[in-house]
Amino acid sequence: MKTFNKSLAAVLILCAGSTAMAKSVSLSDFDTSATTIQTSSFAAGATTLVSPEVTISNGTNYLGRWTGTQLSYLDTNTGGLLVKFSSPVGMFGAEFVANHVPATLSVYSASNILIDSITLGPTGLKTINGFPTGFLGLAETSKKIDHAVFSTTMARNSIYIGPIVYQEVSSTVSPVPEPETYAMLMGGLALIGCMVSRRKSS
Residues 66, 146 within the same domain: yes
Q: What average pLDDT is seen over the chain?
A: 84
SS3 content of the chain, % helix, strand, coil (to 5): 20, 40, 40
Whether 141 and 186 map to the same domain: the answer is no
CA dihedral 151, 31, 25, 74 (to 10 degrees): -10
Q: Residues 91, 61: one domain?
A: yes
Say if residue 116 is in the same domain as residue 190.
no
SS3 69: coil
pLDDT digits (tens, 9 = 90+) for 146-176: 999 999 999 999 999 999 999 987 545 554 4
Confidence of residue 22 (pLDDT cuts 50, 70, 90): confident
Shared domain for 11 and 59, answered yes or no, is no
- Tell me what the mean pLDDT of segment 45-63 comes to: 97
43 and 93 in a single domain? The answer is: yes
- Domain of 9? 1-19+177-202
Q: Give the count of domains, the chain.
A: 2
pTM (two decimals): 0.76
What mean pLDDT is predicted for residues 119-141?
95
Inform me whether the pLDDT recorded for 43 exceeds 60. Answer: yes
